[in-house]
Amino acid sequence: MHIPDGFIAPQVYGPAYGAAGVLWAVGLRRLRRRLDPAAVPRLAVATAAAFALMMVSLPLPGGTTVHVSGVGMVAVLFGVWQAFLALSLVYLLQAFMLGTGGVTALPVNALAMGLGGSLAAVGALRLLGRGRVGLFLAGWFGTVVPAVIVAFVLGLQPLVARAADGTPLFFPFGWAVTLPAVVIPHLAVGVADGVLAVLAWRILAPQEEP
Amino acid sequence: MGRACGAVLLLLLLPAAGALAHGVGSEIGRADAVTVTFRHDDGSPLAGVPCEVLPPDGGPAFQTGRTDRLGRVVFVPDRDGRWTVRVTGEDGHGAVVPVVIDAASLGTGSLPTPPPAGRGWKLLTGVGVLLGVFGIVSLTLQRRK
């Protein structure tokens, strides 16, 4: 689901960098005020686990591969802002050091997966509670909602950036192609992310004082 | 009479000339090509994915098609400059790879490219950097207390 360089038009990634920059600044200010030092090791472990799990590719029929996102897992444990910042750090690392996901696509990836996925996961959790079903669906929505956003952004590219002869300059496929191609595989991947959210809550959730 | 015969002969030859215009010639030869291979993170080939080769001058695509079964795009550049090979999967997977052809490499088909980093190295680096960043955050918070 990570969008590489060369697929997103400047008309899209420019404003996306602006929006993400503002949200990163707001998130960091909130984090400085509210981050519990005792939670940092758990946040580090969850973020590193999300990063590692993103590198495990699951082959799908047709030759493509998918991977779990870990978005729901981090979001149910730490909330929207901490998850957004922690996952943005992962995407930053992947884009600048490891060549997974593009530098120009970084804000789109961060907004779609880090923020959109975290909002969806926490929203599901608030609606359904922290039982198994709520946690599972939080993980599932944390993967499927970003897939819908990424498919929408990719399908937008042929409309916003074309050569004089009408040829798309960046990503060439419209929504009729991107929505099924991106979203349908992630309906299945969401199941793995749902199970992951349930397991992560059992292992990493803050323990109640006896 | 002679003129009439000539005119009829000309009319008969016209369709033949049209047929020649639709003819397709072919020439079999050997050329040194540039091969760009695309793989998924797990090493499996990015096969059958739409691709295009964009020329240095930024004009229309020099070549379009799909990657072959081994995930390759193969093309024979006809000039030097910075070419672009773009592979664009419908699901957003893909890559844009610049291929620099200069007078020395044009025609040789061999372009030095750095070997891709292994997944194990990437995993260790990433986890190490993340734990390091959070370690710094933790130390900063403790010092502030």
Both tokens of residue B77? 């550049």
Residues in a beta bridge with A58: A66
Q: Does B88 touch chain A (CB under 8 A)?
A: yes
Q: Does B41 touch chain A (CB under 8 A)?
A: yes
Written as one letter, the residue type at A131 is G
CATH topology of domain B31-133: Immunoglobulin-like (2.60.40)
Query: What pLDDT sits at residue A94?
Result: 87
Neighbour count for residue A167 (Cβ, 10 Å): 13
Q: How far is B75 from chain A (nearest CA, A)?
A: 20
Query: What pLDDT sits at residue B110?
Result: 45
Query: What pLDDT sits at residue A72?
Result: 93
Average pLDDT estimate for B88-94 = 83
What are A57-90's pLDDT values in tens digits? 776 665 567 788 899 999 999 999 999 999 999 9
Range of the domain at A177: 17-204
> What are phi and psi for residue A99, nearest 5 degrees?
70, 20
Asked if the structure places residue A88 within a domain, the reply is yes
Spell out which residues of chain A touch residue B93, defining contact as CB-CB under 8 Å: 4, 64-65
Query: What pLDDT sits at residue B108?
Result: 44
Top-confidence residue, A197 or B138: A197
Size of interface A-B (CB pairs under 8 A): 109
Alpha helices in chain A (DSSP H): 10-34, 40-54, 71-93, 106-109, 118-128, 132-160, 175-178, 184-204
Q: How far is A72 from chain B (nearest CA, A)?
A: 19
- Report CB contact under 8 Å: B88, A97: no
What are B30-61's pLDDT values in tens digits? 888 899 998 877 778 888 889 999 999 888 88
Average pLDDT estimate for A9-16 = 94
What are B60-79's pLDDT values in tens digits? 889 999 999 999 999 999 88
Averaged confidence pLDDT in chain A:
89
Asked if the structure places residue A178 within a domain, the reply is yes
Q: Does B79 touch chain A (CB under 8 A)?
A: no
| Residue at token pair 């059958």 | B48
What are A151-188's pLDDT values in tens digits? 999 999 999 988 888 888 888 899 999 999 899 999 99
Average pLDDT estimate for A98-123 = 90
Q: Does B123 touch chain A (CB under 8 A)?
A: yes
Query: What pLDDT sits at residue A210?
Result: 46
In total, how many domains does chain A have? 1
Query: What pLDDT sits at residue B40?
Result: 79
What are A119-157's pLDDT values in tens digits? 999 999 999 988 999 999 999 999 999 999 999 999 999
Range ranked top by mean pLDDT from A27-31, A34-38, B103-107: A27-31
Q: Which helix (H) or strand (E) element contains residue B81?
A: strand B81-88
Q: Does B65 touch chain A (CB under 8 A)?
A: no
- What CATH number should be reported for the domain holding residue A95? 1.10.1760.20
Domain spans of chain B? Answer: 31-133
Residue B5 has pLDDT above 60, yes or no: yes
